[in-house]
Amino acid sequence: MSQFDIKTEKVAVLMGGVSAEREVSLMSGNGVLQALQSLGVNASAFDPSERNVFDLKKEGFTRCFIALHGRFGEDGTVQGALELLGIPYTGPGVMASSIAIDKLMTKHIWRADGLPTPAWKNVDSAQATRAAFAELGCPMIVKPAREGSTLGLSKVTSLAQCDDAFTLAAGMRDEVLCEQFIAGDEVTIAVLGSGAQAQALPVIRIVAPEGNYDYQNKYFTHSTQYLVPCGLPEGEEAHIQQLVLQAFKSLGCRGWARADVMIDAATRQPYLLEINTSPGMTSHSLVPMAAKAAGISYPELCLQVLTLASRDYAL
């Protein structure tokens, strides 16, 4: 982590990009940009889909806030470019970012470290999806392995739905993951900080219409309820926060991230679903909500994340 001087640094807020989450990224990036400017930070918008990333060095940017989501922003690629340019950036480094966006690799590492995650199968055809349904049970989740914001995701409740679910997920030009469905409370937990200073923010419990927390209900409606305080027993909330800290460190994350967790209604066992290394910062986003519950305003959150900007290697 490099020392941040608000008076001398020139900050680029990377937003937009070319992923399927471009629209959300622009909303996140503009929110961050306005917040940093309101604090006196010399910050400018930078869209890598419209400008050459190497212009960052030419134009004298000294630090980057990554508000890109999905591929070519959250997957280690732009992090690698910034490493070559020697510019500190927010969020985890190259390896952690590339692993975290891949739900299959993430699950392998968490399972190896003894962390709970739902059972899964990697499939390459509709036939394999039907076989996974027979093994994993009903309902089953089918989703792309490297997309976020529930894009391409289906909840399968019958064998007849498997073909369409595979086609939808595979249409994202990605590997397809079939996952055991965990019925129960859906929660999300943000982590802020690095190493021993990393802290889990308050747990948020998500109550979506008919349990359907899809792309529309995430970003464009006001029907979803976000409960913070989450209403879970105190010991259970603390246990989940500790689990997410372990998951964060297991992948080598730093700076910030947000993990999604399902709690089995029958056993109260929490299961890690995935971790987002460039979380949303829109008006509907959950990290700002958790930060507010911890007494951190949106502009203060943006500044804290920016201050934590770092690189894997010092040139």
Positive or negative CA dihedral for 69, 72, 77, 83?
Answer: negative
- The pLDDT of residue 210 is 65
Which residues in the chain are classed under CATH 3.40.50.20? 10-90
By C-alpha distance, which of 264, 265, 286, 291 is closest to 275?
286
Please give the distance of CA 210 from its chain centroid, rounded to a whole number: 23
Determine the pLDDT at residue 70.
87
Please answer whether residues 6 and 199 qualify as being in contact, where contact means their C-beta atoms are separated by less than 8 angstroms: no
Per-residue model confidence (pLDDT) at position 315 = 61
Which class does domain 120-180 fall in?
alpha beta
- CATH class of domain segment(s) 10-90: alpha beta
CB-CB contact of 241 with 203 (8 Å):
yes
How far is Cα 70 from Cα 161, in angstroms, rounded to an integer?
27
Mean pLDDT by runs of 10 across the 315 residues of the chain is 83 94 94 97 97 96 96 94 97 97 96 98 96 96 81 92 95 88 96 96 89 53 85 93 98 97 97 96 91 97 96 82
Query: 18: how many CB neighbours lie within 10 A of its CB?
Result: 16
Residue 91: both structure tokens together: 């969020």
Give catalytic residues, as residue numbers.
21, 149, 219, 258, 260, 274, 276, 280
CB contact at 8 A, 63 and 50: no
CATH 3.30.1490.20 in the chain, residues? Answer: 120-180
Rounded CA gap, 234 and 202, in Å?
11
* pTM of the model as a whole: 0.91
Assign residue 295 a region (left: φ > 0; alpha: ψ between -120 and 50; beta: otherwise).
Answer: left
Q: Considering the domain 100-116+183-303, what is its CATH architecture?
A: 2-Layer Sandwich (3.30)
H/E stretch holding 67: none
Tokens standing for 286? 């959950």
Q: What is the pLDDT of residue 137?
A: 95
